[in-house]
Amino acid sequence: MTAESTATPPSSFDDGAFLKLGLSPALAAAVSALGYEEPTDIQREAIPPLLAGRDVLGQAATGTGKTAAFALPLLQRIGSSDDGAQKIRGLILVPTRELAMQVAEAVHKYGRPLAIRVLPIYGGQAMQQQLRALKRGVDVVVATPGRALDHIRRGTLALDAVQMLVLDEADEMLDMGFAEDLEAILSAVPAERQTALFSATMASAIRTIASRHLREPVRVTIAREHLAQGETPRVREVAYIVQRRHKVAALARVLDMEAPTSIIVFCRTRTEVDELTETLGGRGYRAEALHGGLSQEQRDRVMRRFRDGASELLVATDVAARGLDIEHVSHVVNFDVPQSPDAYIHRIGRTGRAGREGIAVTLAEAREHRLLRNIEQATKRKISIESVPTVHDLRTRRLELTRSSLEELLVSGKLDSYRGVVEALADQYDVLDVAAAAVKLADEASDGGEREAEEEIPNAAPPRRDERPSRATRSRNEGAREGREERPSRSERPRGERPRGERGKARRRDGADVTRLYVALGRKAGVRPADLVGAIANEAGIDSRDIGAIEITDRFSLVEVPDDAADDIIRALSGTTIRGKRVAARRDRAGA
Task: Tell me which of 390, 416, 438 is where a domain ends.
Answer: 390
**What is the CATH classification number for the domain harbouring 288?**
3.40.50.300
Average pLDDT score, the chain: 79
Do the domain assignments include residue 229?
Answer: no
Q: What is the 3-state secondary structure (H, E, C) of 433-475?
A: HHHHHHHHHHHHHHHCCCCCCCCCCCECCCCCCCCCCCHHHHH
Same domain, 424 and 561: no
Same domain, 386 and 409: no
* Total number of domains in the chain: 4
Same domain, 14 and 130: yes
Same domain, 217 and 247: no
Same domain, 214 and 255: no
Query: What are 516-561's pLDDT values in tens digits?
Result: 898 988 888 888 887 888 888 877 777 777 788 888 888 889 998 8
Q: Residue 508 pLDDT > 60, yes or no?
A: no
Do the domain assignments include residue 417?
Answer: yes
Query: What are 142-176's pLDDT values in tens digits?
Result: 999 999 999 999 999 999 999 999 999 898 888 77
0.85 exceeded by pTM: no
Same domain, 426 and 496: no
Do the domain assignments include residue 564?
Answer: yes
Task: Tell me which of 166, 186, 221 is where a domain ends.
Answer: 221
Q: Residue 49 pLDDT > 80, yes or no?
A: yes
Same domain, 382 and 415: no
CA distance linking residue 224 with residue 77, whole number of Å: 30
The tally of CA atoms less than 13 A away on the side-chain side of residue 242 is: 25
Same domain, 382 and 341: yes
pLDDT class of 448 with cuts at 50, 70, 90: very low
Do the domain assignments include residue 457?
Answer: no
Q: Residue 474 pLDDT > 70, yes or no?
A: no
Same domain, 441 and 483: no
**Pairwise pLDDT comparison (443 vs 188), residue with the higher score:** 188
Same domain, 281 and 150: no
**Segments forming the whole domain that contains residue 17:** 3-221
Query: What are 393-418's pLDDT values in tens digits?
Result: 888 877 887 788 788 788 887 788 88
Query: What are 290-311's pLDDT values in tens digits?
Result: 887 787 788 778 888 888 888 8
Residue pair 312/286 in contact by the 8 Å Cβ criterion: yes
Do the domain assignments include residue 369?
Answer: yes
Same domain, 310 and 422: no
Q: Residue 465 pLDDT > 60, yes or no?
A: no
Same domain, 102 and 191: yes
Residue 202 to residues 46, 169, 205, 483, 581: CA-CA distances in angstroms? Answer: 17, 11, 8, 9, 31
Helix axes 391-412, 431-447, angle to 10 degrees: 120
Percent of the chain with pLDDT over 90: 23
Do the domain assignments include residue 453?
Answer: no
- Please tell me whether residue 227 adopts helix, strand or coil conformation: coil
CA distance linking residue 180 with residue 182, whole number of Å: 5
Task: Tell me which of 176, 196, 221 is where a domain ends.
Answer: 221
**What is the CATH classification number for the domain harbouring 483?**
3.30.70.330
Do the domain assignments include residue 67?
Answer: yes
Highest mean pLDDT among 233-237, 239-243, 505-509: 239-243
- What pLDDT was estimated at residue 15? 45
Residue pair 576/177 in contact by the 8 Å Cβ criterion: no
Do the domain assignments include residue 460?
Answer: no
